[in-house]
A and B are shown apart, each in its own frame.
Chain A
Amino acid sequence: MNLTKLSDEQLLQLIARRNADAFETLYDRHAQVVHNLILRIVGERRATEELVQEAFWQVWQKAGDFRGDGAGAAWLYRVARNRGLDRLRQRTARPKTVALELEDSPRLFAYGQLPSVETTVERSWQQQQVRESLASIPDDQRVILELAYFEGMTQSEIAEHLSLPIGTIKSRIRLGVEKLERLLVATGLRRGDV
């Protein structure tokens, strides 16, 4: 049994039985996305590292709560997003931008901790698909999806933020999510790819 061939859902079942290797495999597969997501939400590197660790620790402790009726990665990203949004809500103010420092990135990796080319490329491919899908959603819908997902705003908060009627926000969210769903299906991203 090669763990890297297992689906996220199968890995979560093993993690629920305290299998550390399965946990490490799941981490290698999703840590970068979880990190990017939390950093996008909280905007601070130090807090992000702490929250990534907390989110994965929660996965280790609560993998048994995953009911197996959805995509494992969707569950994992929800855990991470909730961590990030909780931290965001605890603050009164936060930095608006994040310096990516991509030029310095190679030195951050150590032997044995480099993600495989396959993992990097697969992730890159998926991110490219999602970005292309998002880019093809009309701006007025995309902005609202991003405010809800990354800023954790409710429909009424978005309406107030953008000075638009609540009905407009509701319909744009519905149209935006449905369009995103259709685009992702059309690009061939299946349930297991999430």
Chain B
Amino acid sequence: MGTELTYAMVVELLPAYALGALESEEMEAVDAYLEEQHTLLARLERLDIATAQLAQAAPAAPMSPQIKTRLMTQVRAEGGSTTSASPVVSPIASSAVSSGNPLLGGGRQGRTILGQPVHTRPIQPPLPVQPPLSIQRPRRFDFGWLAAAALAAMALFIVWIDIGTQTQLRQLQNELVNRDTQLAELRQQQIFFTNPSQIVTLVGTGESNARGLFYQYNEEAFLVLHGLEPLPATQTYQLWLIPTEGTPASAAIFAVQSADESHQQVKLPANALTYNAVGISIEPSGGSLTPTMEKIVLLGEKA
């Protein structure tokens, strides 16, 4: 094949090339053509992106967290560094990094409990050996006071350590409670994604670039919204369940804090579950009885 290929022929072959479905001889010929003629590289990039999306069509299956643990251990051991300019590394972690062995990849190997480094006291050098007593009688020194002072200092030190340990323990317990709460919420939300009774894709209307997904599970729904702008206090977003015939039913009113992403979990009205479409409109604060049609910002129909 080689140099016999023309521009038109390569254009025809590119989709199969991007998919990796050409015979090896054809692949080599297209490779050779693209090395010399760069005009089709942009086209190939778009096709590559489209075919790569097929990966996301593979059925979801749970994966073991140990894969990540093993990989990250391997990466750190091999010399992976942390992000030097990154504020995502907490000050505590940073101090652990700076005190670590640079040969081991930035001190991540220090002892930690739930990500918090455990500070240990440095080992004290041995006390110097006392010189032998001279024959002359030495001045007497009252060691009683010294021992008492040492005992008092030690007691204070133990109290201080105890307070510190208890504080750290309380922090860890709080963190554990927070993580338990977070885990419970995630598990509760997971049911919407793993076993939804209905999914409706919401698309921005008019010039709106907003988008979203409406996951229904029984009489509840979880809304994931991108690109909805925060509204002034005088307005609110209102969720509508729209039947094929009849009046749309209000399902919730809500605000968003950021245009990046927001989530809403809502209880759906039991008498409106035979909807055909889902919409979100901008309404006056407190909501409306019927949607203001020209202010519907997101809309989607059941598949």
Contact = CB atoms under 8 A, between A and B. Distances in A.
A172 to B, nearest CB: 10
Interface in B167-214: 179, 182-183, 186-187, 189-190, 193-195, 199, 201, 203, 209, 211, 213
Contact of A20 (B46, B76, B187): B76
Interface size class of B (residues with CB under 8 A): 35 or more
Nearest to A34: B55
B293 interface: no
A80 B21 contact: no
Nearest to A99: B61
Interface in B27-76: 41, 45-72, 74-76
A33 B45 contact: no
Interface string A148-160: 1110111110100
Given A21-B83, A180-B51, 20 more contacts: A1-B86, A27-B68, A31-B63, A35-B61, A52-B63, A56-B71, A57-B71, A60-B80, A71-B48, A74-B49, A98-B59, A106-B187, A111-B114, A111-B183, A124-B224, A128-B199, A130-B54, A134-B54, A149-B20, A181-B46
A113 B76 CA distance: 17
Given A80-B55, A127-B57, A70 B19 contact: no
Interface in B1-31: 12, 15-16, 18-23
Nearest to B72: A24
A1 B83 contact: yes
B81 A194 contact: no
B190 A106 contact: yes
Contacts of B190: 106, 120
Contacts of A111: 114, 179, 183
A121 B79 contact: no
B89 interface: yes
B16 A121 contact: no
Interface size class of A (residues with CB under 8 A): 35 or more
A180 B50 contact: yes
Contacts, number: 240
Interface of B: 12, 15-16, 18-23, 41, 45-72, 74-76, 78-83, 85-89, 105-106, 114-115, 179, 182-183, 186-187, 189-190, 193-195, 199, 201, 203, 209, 211, 213, 224, 226, 261, 263, 303
B71 A27 contact: yes
A194 B15 contact: no
Contacts of B57: 127, 130-131, 134, 146
